[in-house]
Chains A and B, each alone.
Chain A
Amino acid sequence: MAAYIVRRVGIGIGLLVLLSVTVFFLFSILPSDPARLTCGKICTPALLEANRARLGLDKPIVEQYVTFAAGIFAGRVFAPDSPEPIVCNAPCLGYSFSRHEQVTSLISRSLPVTIWLAIGAFIIWMVVGILAGIYAALRRGRWQDRVVLGVSMVGYSLPAFFFGLVVIFFVIIKLHLLPFPSYVSPFEDPVRFLQTMILPWMVLAILNAAFYMRLTRNQMLEALGEDFIRTARAKGLPDRVVIRHALRAGLTPIVTVAGLDLAVLLGGAIITESIFSLPGMGSLTVASVNDSDLPVITGITLVAATFIILANLFVDLLYAVIDPRVRL
């Protein structure tokens, strides 16, 4: 197990290096010039050159990458000619001259928002999705099953942006049931935190719960048709024990998908964050892409990829726990 983990972590680090190199060099071949984007309205050749030097873009691309990579371990200094140079301590993912802030600072401010959004919604959709899926499987063919299938189809079809806007209009603007979303840390103001997050949680959860209802139902139905379940029933085991056995057997694909879904969500729920004005990773990603802000894009890519890599590893480890037949 330990050797497996070490091997997977090593592969993960290699992937991150490859990813950062790819992003860096892809950026360098784009047609637009980041120096011109931040040069200002009247951008004479002299001003453009000064701005390019300010952004460090006057160096060869390989040197730029090496400087970036070294900064992760040793830190860097930006704007050295400024009366107060910007000291970026390790791990330094760069400085955003567009947003005037260090990338690690931007991400560390955005990430908790996305984490709270993702985890809260995850808990809701997993509980609702799995319970509803189990219920539908046990009531297969009956009206309860059809209701669950119908609800999941509606939830699956609802576009997030539409649903979010409708919810805001009725709950907040029309009925004044909640104040406008304004994110605060749960440790700072738990009530305001809950008031802000409850609607985005619900919007995100409803859309994902629909998927897990169907997935769980299908997995349960498949497991309930297995020979070992027939044997367990024949031996007179109570229903709740049988269901537990069936759920465990059908859990593997649910765990896989849930882990990856959560990992992807930790990279940012763009639409939900946008509708509810949440300053998370999704919002930061969109803004950075629009601004061609390479340092932030690179930083977000690395962070998001790290989540995916760790989630994959975690899910694989969980397989071995759930299914004793799996050997790592």
Chain B
Amino acid sequence: MVRSHTRMRVLGLGAVVVLTFTACGGASSSSSAPAPSTGVPSTGTGPSAAPSTATGPKTGGTIYLLENAEEFNQLDPQRAYTGEDLAFFGATIYRSLTAYKYTSDPVESTTLTPDLATDLGTVADAGKTWSFTLRDGVTFQDGSPITCADVAYGTSRTFATDVITQGPTYAIAYLDIPADPKGGSAYKGPYKGTGQDLFDKAVTCSADGKTITFHLGQPVPDFNYTVTLGFSPVPKAADKGESYGIGTNPVSSGPYMIQQYTTGKGGKMILVRNPKWDQASDPYRTPYPDKWEVDFGIDTKVIDQRLIQSSGQDETAMSLIVQPENLATVFADPKTPNPDFAGRAVSDYDIYSLYYWINTTTVKNVKVRQAMAVALDREAIRKNIGGAFVGPFADGAIKPNIGIDYAPTGMWTDMFGQPVPDKGDPELAKKLIAESGEPAPTLTLDYRQTPVAEKTAAIVQASLALAGITVKLNGIESGKYYSTVYDKPNDFGAGGWGADWPNASTVIPPLFTIKGGWNLSKYDDPAFNAKVQAASVELDRQKQALAWQALNKEMMQNVVIIPTFFELQQRMAGTKIDGVYLWGAYGSWPYSRMSVK
């Protein structure tokens, strides 16, 4: 998942391993939300409009989400790819075969639970075949049953790459469908129909339409995680292609449906209860509010002020971020809200790790890259971009909250023969340059042109200069940064990434292999690629975790990236919202557990 300062953030998730989190000095959730139940009993035997609770969260009311963005990036279930959007849609309008548990426990929140499926899938053929059986009584918002064919059709839309864009493409990557000569899939999607027989062989339905089977091109041990992304059902008759979920409201399979959606400043999305949703067929969700309203295009300063005041309608409002200038008002420190905000402000890991990528095709000497890492004043950089609220210093590409794949790499403790202080060590850097056999280089830093990033670039320039490394600065317009550095990178630049699900299979391959798709460092080592491939198909999860840890360490020894921070995020809600915590699954609000007090 790529780090972006615009709303083009993509998906990622993680689980906080408590001990490691504490060791890294990260913040913990300060919410007082109770641990949610896995399901709420229905009041009757037929469809129910709302969960009923004798005690605990109340049903009713409206929760408002105040957004600076002017629209959701994508509403189409095969195109939605930002973590927050997936968390919101997953709680309200889209069901998937599996989903993540709702709990404030950071470890448990990244474990799967069945959603549309009756269980977490049956695996066969050494991980190359996965089958899921659909629950009884699952329907779309018009009452029509959700069948295997609908899930298959939704999956097939991903292949129409000339219409369905920007979404997760794991169906293309994993299903057993050959590639075409240009490197795309031989199946061109349901609109053109070319290669439809190939898709129909790779995704099959049982005779009763209840069980869907995916035949994969290679073993994918965690495919039941993969199906949380872009495998939601879509009724073929309602599909409008480019316009599906845009302008027209997509068909809901969840407890809410879209009543209104207008974009731009002043635009809003209003979700009301789906009368055809049945709690009995969906023990996963607990839709407490009667209505959700998302208000778009609000100035960020205005959002913060409204929530700080929390009066009137804003008592049941919430946002996605606290602006840096208001952090001291809301939080006593990166872990603890001020007393006025206890229970409604949270600070915890989000899904992103931040780093500097180094173009290994231009900065080829490992010792030079090591010198860059050692010289960098990470302390000053962090201070410039927000201080301790930014997050603890990172030691690799894999973030602690991803779970068992994380292990300390030792990059800043002993990897280079001695500890490297957070403010950098110019003398050690000079020593490494001397060992490189090359003169101190002149490098060009790509950075996005924002006021904060300009200052950060100057800090990078100054800290490397102490080691004798000359840095030229190349500012790039913020909105075009990634598209520019992907195609025409200079020597190094800032980047960020988040895992798509809690397995480093969505971190190491994308960042460090050419086929992975986000290898800004242009690193391409056949031996390393082979090790990545072996780890990707390893069915023993413990062995796989050890493999990812080793590969992460290898990349840090080679300094393919310079890890900087494991990012924290801070948010707040109004005074009358219950269930306030950061959900480890997507680093998001736990929408399906939130209610009006």
Residues of A within 8 A of B183 (CB): 44-46
A99 lies within 8 A of B71 (CB): yes
Contact pick for B266, options A43, A51, A277, CB 8 Å:
A277
Do B182 and A83 touch (CB < 8 A)?
no
A38 engages B166 (CB within 8 Å): yes
Q: How far is the CA of A150 from the CA of B517 in the complex (A)?
A: 61
Q: Shortest CB–CB separation between residue B555 and chain A, in angstroms?
A: 19
Complex Cα gap A82–B264 (Å): 25
A106's closest neighbor in chain B, by CB? B264
Interface flags for A69-95 (1: CB within 8 Å of B; 0: not) read 000000000110111111000000000
Q: Which of B236-244, B332-340, B585-593 contacts A (4 or more CB under 8 A)?
A: B236-244
A84 contacts B243, CB within 8 Å? yes
B239-251: CB near A (< 8 Å → 1, else 0) gives 1111100110000
Known A-B contacts A33-B487, A42-B510; A82 and B518 likewise in contact (beta carbons under 8 Å) = no
The segment from A1-9, A228-236, A278-286 found at the interface with B is: A278-286
> A174 — which chain B residues lie within 8 A by C-beta?
309
A290 interfacial by beta-carbon distance below 8 Å = yes
Cβ 8 A contact of A41, one of B1, B180, B182, B267: B1
Q: Cβ of A165: which chain B residues have Cβ within 8 Å of it?
A: 299, 301-302
Chain B residues near A287: list those with CB within 8 A: 70
- In the bound complex, what is the Cα–Cα distance between A34 and B487 (angstroms)? 12
Tell which of B166, B242, B243, B309 has the most Cβ of chain A within 10 Å.
B242
Q: Are A31 and B484 in contact (CB under 8 A)?
A: yes
Residue of B nearest to A81 (CB): B191
Per-residue contact bits, chain A 270-296, to B (CB 8 Å; 1 contact, 0 not): 000111011110011001011110000
Stretch with Cβ within 8 A of A (4 or more), from B119-127, B157-165, B402-410? B157-165
Which residues of chain A are near B309, meaning CB under 8 Å? 173-174
Q: Are A41 and B518 in contact (CB under 8 A)?
A: yes
- Looking at chain B's contact residues, the main secondary structure is loop
A152 nearest CB across to chain B (Å): 27
Residue of A nearest to B239 (CB): A83
Q: Would you call A110 and B264 a contact (CB within 8 A)?
A: yes
- Whether a CB of chain B sits under 8 angstroms from the CB of A54 is yes
Residues in A whose Cβ lies below 8 Å from that of B246: 100-101
Contact of A36 with B243 in the complex, beta carbons under 8 Å: no
- Give the nearest-CB partner of B9 in chain A: A41
Query: What's the minimum C-beta distance from A26 to chain B, rounded to whole angstroms?
Result: 14
Cross-chain contact B487 with A274 (CB below 8 angstroms): no
Q: Judge whether A47 is part of the interface by a CB distance below 8 angstroms.
A: yes
Taking the complex as formed, is B312 at the interface, i.e. its CB lies under 8 A from any CB of chain A?
yes
Interchain CB contact under 8 A, B2 and A46 = no
What's the Cα separation between A275 and B266 when bound, in Å?
A: 11
> Are A168 and B163 interface neighbours, CB within 8 A?
no
Number of interface residues of B (CB under 8 A): 62
Cβ-based interface call for A320 (8 A): no
A319 at the interface (CB under 8 A from B): no
Query: Nearest Cβ in chain A — how far from B100, in angstroms?
Result: 19
B184 touching A50 by the CB < 8 A rule? yes
A81 pairs with B163, CB closer than 8 A = yes
B151 at interface by CB-CB < 8 Å: no
Question: Which residues of the other chain, B, contact A54 by a CB distance below 8 angstroms?
Answer: 162-163, 165
Q: How large is the interface on A (under 10, 10 to 19, 20 to 34, 35 or more residues)?
A: 35 or more
- Check B298 against A51 for contact (C-beta < 8 Å): no
Binds B, one of A119-127, A176-184, A245-253: A176-184
Return chain B residues, CB-CB under 8 Å to A30.
Answer: 480
- Whether, in the assembled complex, A316 has its beta carbon less than 8 Å from a beta carbon of chain B, the answer is no
B266 adjacent to A278 (CB under 8 Å): yes
Hey, which chain A residues are within 8 Å of B477, CB to CB? 32
The answer on a CB contact under 8 Å between B10 and A277 is no
Q: Which residue of B lies closest to A102 (CB)?
A: B247
Point out the residues of chain A lying under 8 angstroms from B482, CB to CB.
36
A40-B165 in contact given A45-B183, A287-B70 (Cβ < 8 Å): yes
A174, B161: Cα distance in complex, Å: 50
- Which of A32, A181, A279 is B267 in contact with, Cβ under 8 Å? A279
Question: In the complex, what residues of A have CB within 8 A of residue B184's CB?
Answer: 44, 46-47, 49-50
Q: Does A57 contact B (CB under 8 A)?
A: no
> A182 contacts B243, CB within 8 Å?
no
Q: Assuming the A-B contacts A36-B486, A279-B265, are A51 and B161 also in contact, with contact meaning beta carbons closer than 8 angstroms in the complex? A: yes
Question: Are B243 and A100 in touch, CB under 8 angstroms?
Answer: yes
State in angstroms the CA–CA spacing of A100 and B183 once bound together. Answer: 28
Which residues of A sit under 8 angstroms from B312, Cβ to Cβ? 176
Q: In the complex, A60 Cα to B366 Cα: how many Å?
A: 42
* Min C-beta distance of A206 to chain B, whole Å: 19
Q: Which residues in B have their C-beta under 8 angstroms from that of A169?
A: 305
- Given that A84-B240, A165-B302, A279-B265 are contacting pairs, would A36 and B192 also be in contact in the complex, using a CB cutoff of 8 Å? no
Distance in angstroms between the alpha carbons of A101 and B299 in the assembled complex: 23
C-alpha gap A65/B484 in the complex (Å)? 24
Closest residue to A273 on the B side, CB-wise? B265
Give the distance in Å from the alpha carbon of A165 to the alpha carbon of B265 in the complex.
16
From residue B263, how far is it (CB to closest CB) to chain A in Å? 7
Closest residue of B by beta carbon distance from A184: B266
Let me know if B191 and A83 touch, CB within 8 A.
yes
Is there a chain B Cβ closer than 8 Å to A160's Cβ? no
Report the bound CA distance from A264 to B191 in whole Å.
45
| Residue numbers in B under 8 Å from A50 (CB-CB) | 161-162, 165, 184
Q: B504-533, CB under 8 A of A: which get 1 and which 0?
A: 000000100001111000000000000000
A-B contact list, 25 entries, CB within 8 Å: A31-B476, A32-B484, A36-B482, A36-B483, A37-B479, A41-B166, A41-B517, A42-B516, A42-B518, A44-B517, A45-B183, A46-B185, A47-B184, A51-B162, A81-B192, A81-B241, A86-B243, A99-B263, A100-B246, A165-B302, A168-B302, A277-B297, A278-B266, A279-B265, A283-B264
Residues of B within 8 A of A (CB): 1-2, 6, 10-11, 70-71, 81, 160-163, 165-169, 180, 182-185, 191-192, 239-243, 246-247, 263-267, 297-299, 301-302, 305-306, 309, 311-312, 476-480, 482-484, 486-488, 510, 515-518
Given pairs A32-B477, A47-B169, A280-B265, 20 additional interface contacts (CB within 8 A):
A36-B482, A37-B483, A40-B10, A41-B11, A46-B183, A49-B184, A50-B184, A79-B241, A81-B241, A83-B239, A84-B241, A100-B247, A109-B264, A169-B305, A174-B309, A181-B266, A183-B265, A277-B297, A277-B299, A287-B70
7 closest A-B pairs (Cβ-Cβ)? A82-B241, A46-B184, A42-B517, A32-B480, A100-B246, A279-B264, A40-B166
